[in-house]
Amino acid sequence: MIQLRMPSSLPRIAAVAASIALLASCSDAKNQTPAAKTDSAAPAMSMSMSPVKIPAGAVFTEADVRFMQGMIAHHAQAIYMSRLASGHGANAHLLKFAQKIDQSQIVEIRLMQAWLRRNGQDAPDTSSWHSMQMPGMLTADQLKQLDAAKGPEFDRQFLVLMIQHHNGALKMVTDLFATPQAAQDVDVSVFANDVQTVQTAEIGTMQQMLGNL
């Protein structure tokens, strides 16, 4: 469905292994100790991500690069979820909301990819959600559960899970802004603020839609 492709096709390792191996490089820029955290909700990166190299004079940091890479995967899963709506008997209001998420986030993925490429960093493609686990992203079980639901039950599951998903995006933004020196790059800063504003409002909308089911 989504046509974007990343040229590099490095072997993909299981998410669990990746999370252990690369935890430090992507989850917690303040703490560079590899075994710093074992929180199961900690973000995981695919093995296909190269180590981040920050060019001299750049104002962006590793946290910015990992944020943009991780948010691609995060958005890609939201798009996958949104595209389930039409085949799962979603109501008209939800279908439209899902279409908005789809159209909004696909262009943001292109924006993030363009930023990463322009700055010489690996740019994940839209399949990256299979191998990267960012805050709020659905587990394999939750995905199965969503895919198995139809009609009003799909609507309910979609809203509950998408609220969880959006809350994860807000956490990613909060974590980014809490990282010293991060989000000084103007593209990252503007984008992160947009994510915060728009997804906060969308959570409100979804809570209302859920109440109206």
- 93 binding another protein? (CB under 8 A): yes
CA–CA separation, 185 and 116 (whole Å): 12
- 97 binding another protein? (CB under 8 A): yes
In the bound state with another protein, the residue whose beta carbon lies nearer, of 31 and 184, is 184
| Binding test (CB under 8 A) with another protein, winner from 44, 108, 132, 134 | 108
- 17 binding another protein? (CB under 8 A): no
Residues within window 30-89 making contact with another protein, judged by CB under 8 A: 57, 59, 85-86
- 190 binding another protein? (CB under 8 A): yes
CB-CB neighbours of 201 under 10 Å: 11
The helix-helix angle for 186-212 and 62-84 (nearest 10°) equals 30
- 20 binding another protein? (CB under 8 A): no
- 184 binding another protein? (CB under 8 A): yes
**Least distance in angstroms from the C-beta of 143 to another protein:** 20
DSSP 27-49: H-TT---TTS---TTS-B--TTP
Letter string b/e over residues 15-50, b meaning 16 or more CB atoms within 10 A of that residue's CB: beebbeebbebbbbbeeeeeeebeeeebbbbbbbbe
- Surface-to-core class of residue 204, CB atoms within 10 Å of its CB (0-12 exposed, 13-18 middle, 19+ buried): exposed
- 118 binding another protein? (CB under 8 A): yes
| Binding test (CB under 8 A) with another protein, winner from 117, 144, 148, 150 | 117
Total residues belonging to the chain: 213
- 203 binding another protein? (CB under 8 A): yes
CA–CA separation, 94 and 20 (whole Å): 37
CA–CA separation, 109 and 113 (whole Å): 6
**Least distance in angstroms from the C-beta of 146 to another protein:** 17
For binding to another protein (CB under 8 A), which residues are involved?
4-7, 57, 59, 85-86, 91-93, 95-100, 103-104, 107-108, 111, 113-115, 117-118, 123, 152, 160, 163, 167, 170, 174, 177, 181-187, 189-191, 193-194, 196-198, 200-201, 203-205, 207-213
